[in-house]
Chains A and B, each alone.
Chain A
């Protein structure tokens, strides 16, 4: 069936809970553009111009429904003084922890994201993408959510130790750290929107139900998520990077437009909670996907579309990134199966 909406119109229909011509399909390809351009990942990620042209090349090649304006969210840590370590086969990591221990978070400060060279490159990538596809194809930005950013700076162990420590010691550190990361996240997300992003994904790996209970989520994470989303000047998608089913109802009330599911989350159950309130994205196992044939991908897409009826739903992976090892044919199967879907 031929598409009758542009990718942006399709996304807008979906997030406003109207019936699109077909569901949007977002294979998030952050690294594949390097291969298209014959560059190393370090060269590709380090220059906004390279990254943007890689995204445009992938859009032309696959004909999916979005471009991603941010090469990787680890770059957010550079604003806190981190250096990056590059890999031949994946996104960079921190060279070392920025904070030696949790109590160092008392002195945490962040630079203005617009003044950080690495982040300026991302804004440049967004500018280029906007010049080419703005108003037609959704341009997606991303940032690490305020609750999870401290764990990148001090390590997950120190962050969890802090969360479960004596409240008298914990609360002042937590309050300062979250205020700094919240303000940074808002400023960085809004800078991306000014540069051309249509929506922002907030990656919140420490806040998923895999990591913390619903009560802990309500105590520690939800308030700062709500504050952050209320001040970002565009739609926000929340990504738990783990199971999110137990908190979909809470995220739906924050004003978030979408939520990315983990592959463990029951898609039909999630859809029951989310329908008419928040758009679901996912929930294909992006690690196992490296071994999927195109036929297996077709089955997975068919399963997801059957569970959701193609409403309030965007076809995509958990994570949500497609690893480098997934074949072009398998990625095409995700896109073509979605394009051929006819909702009831």
Chain B
């Protein structure tokens, strides 16, 4: 086992959506004394790039993207336990779906992509109140709130996050980014909820957050 073989095997596993095999490859790599941080850099990150390219090319269904991200997430969780010194996160973000919105596939994808990109992600899950987003962001000193919605009316209500950020004078410290189908269907919608930006997909979310908060 070397990093190149591991990378190839892990990618094949992702494409086959074989979750058990994905776990096993990581265990085998660690058993072969490959350094965990090297596995993250040379196996998990390239695998994520491949998933990302497929998403950008729209040649993969959302369900398959989600399962691939789950495999990567499981690998990452295992590897982070094995690194000698936990990596210092680039920044912290808070993520969740809008109140009344239980459509969480996209949110999970974004959370995984952000973690692989080196961010600390606090995932509030489904149906999150606007105030909860802001309170958690303050509590964990997050630099960005990522709010996702699938429904038009739950998406519209996200404007409340902007209102709270303004009221509490947090607009300079915490950026507000939205994503989800309604924002993709109407590319001007994000301005209606007065977000700082929208992300079209998980890859775009990473790039958008990096740009907005100025981390590499």
Contact = CB atoms under 8 A, between A and B. Distances in A.
Interface in A202-248: 209-213, 216
A96 to B, nearest CB: 8
Contacts of B103: 156
B186 interface: yes
B186 A285 contact: yes
Contacts of B188: 291
B104 A156 contact: yes
B157 A157 contact: no
Contact of A87 (B64, B100, B186): B100
B63 A287 contact: no
A285 B186 CA distance: 8
B185 A263 contact: yes
B70 interface: yes
A87 B153 contact: yes
B157 A211 contact: no
B55 interface: no
A90 B153 contact: yes
Interface string A314-344: 0000000001110000000000000000000
A290 B63 contact: no
Nearest to A210: B62
Contacts of A286: 185
Contacts of B153: 87, 89-91, 324
Given A155-B126, A213-B61, A290-B186, A160 B152 contact: no
B100 A93 contact: yes
Contacts of A157: 66, 104-105, 108
- Between B101, B103, B104, B153, the greatest number of chain A beta carbons within 10 A of the residue's beta carbon is seen for B153
Contact of B102 (A89, A97, A165): A97
Given A97-B102, A164-B17, A323 B185 contact: no
Contacts of A213: 61, 64
Given A157-B66, A210-B61, A323 B152 contact: yes
Contacts of B127: 93, 96
A90 B102 contact: no
Contacts, number: 82
Contact of A156 (B19, B61, B105, B186): B105
B182 interface: yes
B102 A285 contact: no
Nearest to A287: B185
B61 to A, nearest CB: 6
A89 B193 CA distance: 14
B67 interface: yes
Contact of A212 (B61, B108, B157): B61
A327 B66 CA distance: 37
Interface in A286-319: 286-288, 290-291
A90 B22 CA distance: 41
Contacts of B63: 160, 163-164, 211-212, 216
B59 to A, nearest CB: 11
A87 B105 contact: no
Nearest to A155: B102
Interface in A56-71: none
Given A85-B100, A93-B101, A209-B61, A160 B67 contact: yes
A159 B104 CA distance: 11
Interface string B62-103: 111011001000000000000000000000000000001111
A91 B152 CA distance: 10
A161 interface: yes
A333 B104 CA distance: 36
A161 B64 CA distance: 10
A110 interface: no
Nearest to A285: B185
Interface string A163-174: 111100000000
- Between B20, B102, B108, the greatest number of chain A beta carbons within 10 A of the residue's beta carbon is seen for B102
A335 B117 CA distance: 49
- Between A85, A156, A213, the greatest number of chain B beta carbons within 10 A of the residue's beta carbon is seen for A156
A161 B70 contact: yes
A160 B189 contact: no
A94 B17 CA distance: 31
B61 A211 contact: yes
B126 to A, nearest CB: 6
Interface of A: 85, 87, 89-94, 96-97, 152, 155-157, 160-161, 163-166, 209-213, 216, 263, 285-288, 290-291, 323-325
12 contacts: A91-B153, A93-B151, A155-B104, A156-B103, A160-B66, A161-B67, A166-B20, A210-B61, A210-B62, A286-B185, A287-B152, A323-B152
